[in-house]
A and B are shown apart, each in its own frame.
Chain A
Amino acid sequence: MNTKICKHQTSLLLMKSSALNLPRQFPRYACGWLVLVSLLFVGLTIARADAVSELASFSIFDKVDLAQLAKSDVKTAHGPPMRTSRFLAVQSCYVAPGAPAQQMEALRRWDPTTHRELKVFLHTDLSSSPSPANFEKLKNAPDNSPVRSFVAATQKLSPDLQISKDEAKKFSAGGGGGGTMPAPVATFWADVLTSRVKSFVSGGMSAEPPYDHAGPSIRASDEVNGLLREQEKIRRQFSGFLGATAIGHGAGSLRPELYWELLDVDDQGVVTLGASYNRGGAGSTYQAADVLYYASGGYYVALTLYQLWPVTVEGKPSTLVWRGDMISAASLGSLHGVERLGSESVMMKNITKAVTLFRRDSGGR
């Protein structure tokens, strides 16, 4: 897969080099510096043109003015309409200072829990062989309405919980413990999450147990594949990269960075498992993916894809970032007409907020 994506990008670069079409009779020795400067200038311009045209080739942003985008906030738009009513997608793009590698590193290091408005209560990075001890923080979950709802839903094994039948059988309400998160609840989730992380590491998303505790069986891998299938241009753009990950299928060759979170989804506490991947490509570009492959409620799966290109804006090295957020959630299926427009608007606002905070934290704005 690595070879495939490199070949594709190399062929693009080769084509652009030949397009320079320098006059053969031009005495190279006579104007060495001029040629070098010209090449650099043209190269930079082409890097810009490449990035913008590649962005236009697969995204909703068919016309982007880099200079203008660099001066503005993140540009957000809803993705193409999808046939499956529980799917929703939003795309965004922005220009950040620094090279793609720096942006990638900033994304990796960013901690959303420092911003209360993002409603992430707990965030913990995981190793590839986690144990229930990695979920100890659950016992110290904040005392708030979403967390209390989450605990109540667990104690009565609410049909809203997205777990498998086998996982549901393991819950035991007995035992002591008070506090926001009683010990039996915290232990139950620590076991469920540990087991699911191990399944993901060994067999990718396709090894994840379905959500079939109540209602029809839903598989997160089917959902993510459906999301990508209905956005063919994006699927094609990221096919090589995603093929090396565990997103939508078995374990891939790329090593994920794993984490878990406790967050607020529509006033309900939700525990979720995530995996991040990134890979550098030709010309200092990057592709990255962040998948929430398990959620105890609220949504079935969420996937964020990133494409980063090096660009030069006003003489400064910068990065053009495209971000595609896609989600599958049962609640979206019941939204129609203007309600769906409204939910897209809310998703766009949330993404704008998250990107703005990230850019502020990383010095990009």
Chain B
Amino acid sequence: MEVDEHVKTFVPRSLVLVGCASLFFASSALAAENSNSFWPLSGEYTADATYVGEGDVERNPRKKVSDFDEIDSDIRLVLTPRTKFGVLRLGAEWERFSFGLPTGAALPNTLQSFSTIIGLDMQFSDSIIVRAETQPGLYNSGLGHLFWDNFNMPFLIGGTYIYSPNLQLVLGVSVDVERKYPVLPAVGVRWKIAPQWLLDAVLPTPRLQYELTRDVSLYAGATVRDATFRVDDDFGVSHGIPRLNHAVLTYTEIRTGAGFDWKISPIVTFTGEVGYQPYREFDFYRAEVRYNQSVGAPYGTISLHGAF
């Protein structure tokens, strides 16, 4: 065992912040039934928090990190003004993965990013819509170490082919020069199988959805999270693996679960989801240090999101 002392580091881990942001979004949204008369801009927002129960990862059978939990928080606001060229996407996102690691684990307690969002949705024809979006920002392992060498600018280009109102095909490519695999292609399909059934098999949240009522939908699906961060200059030395100083870490997790969307108002939707996280990987790929999940964990997510 690499770690034998299970002392959890306690941090408020952003739940309070996410809660406050959610309240802000909800109150302003509920105050205005018709957003256009209240707020001249259109946009979309997300504020969500996920708790993942205790799981294990291992580098090899002798180097294990056991029984650590995780709290993820994500706040995202994107304004979507209409222009001559299409729908602009201008906004910001704060994302944080916080792990309740035992002391001495050669993994960062926190991975977080502050990024801006700059993109454009363009209508190329009556069948093709293309999105180009970049998220320049700081991707690192803590609030106290914001340096320009944490800067990264992942981007994506994706196209939707509208075959019919009930069937759309999606093809995209995600580019992150710091990632282990810098270019990742993806395909997806959005198919309204029946009036109440929708297969929305598009990353990062492929789902099969059933519309229970006009305001409530049930779904089963997955969430794929993948991001690249740079750890601190002395991270390696302080964790017993010097080559991890200032190293790049690609963090990936996959969750599978079921949940519901409750449309509280035209611009506020509350989502609750529970499930199991079968895959997680911390990959310092340049330093060839990789921790794969050995024991999965249950999780729960709450989210407020919508468009105005």
Residues of A at under 8 Å CB distance from B?
76, 78, 81, 83-85, 145, 149, 160, 267, 333-334, 336-342, 344-346, 348-350, 352
Contacts and interface: CB of A to CB of B under 8 A. Distances in A.
A342 B80 contact: no
The 8 closest A-B pairs by CB, nearest first: A348-B126, A337-B80, A336-B307, A267-B195, A338-B121, A346-B165, A349-B126, A336-B42
A341 B159 CA distance: 13
A337 B89 contact: yes
Given A78-B123, A145-B195, A267-B195, A342 B160 contact: yes
Given A336-B307, A337-B307, A84 B36 contact: yes
Contacts of B129: 338, 341-342, 345
Given A84-B36, A338-B121, A342-B162, 18 more contacts: A76-B126, A83-B36, A85-B36, A267-B195, A333-B266, A334-B267, A334-B307, A336-B42, A336-B308, A337-B80, A337-B87, A337-B121, A338-B87, A342-B160, A345-B123, A345-B127, A349-B127, A349-B162
B127 to A, nearest CB: 7
B104 interface: no
For the residues of A in contact with B, the DSSP-based class is: helix
Given A83-B36, A85-B36, A149-B195, A336 B127 contact: no
A156 to B, nearest CB: 13
A348 B125 CA distance: 9
Interface in B123-170: 123, 125-127, 129, 131, 160, 162, 164-165, 168
A81 B165 CA distance: 21
A81 B131 CA distance: 19
Interface string B43-55: 1100000000000
B82 interface: yes
A334 B263 CA distance: 11
10 contacts: A85-B36, A149-B195, A267-B195, A333-B34, A337-B44, A337-B307, A340-B87, A341-B86, A344-B123, A349-B162
B82 A346 contact: no
Contacts of A149: 195
A149 B214 CA distance: 14
B203 to A, nearest CB: 16
B266 A334 contact: yes
Nearest to A85: B36
B43 A336 contact: yes
A293 B245 CA distance: 70
A340 B36 CA distance: 14
Nearest to A90: B126
Nearest to B42: A336
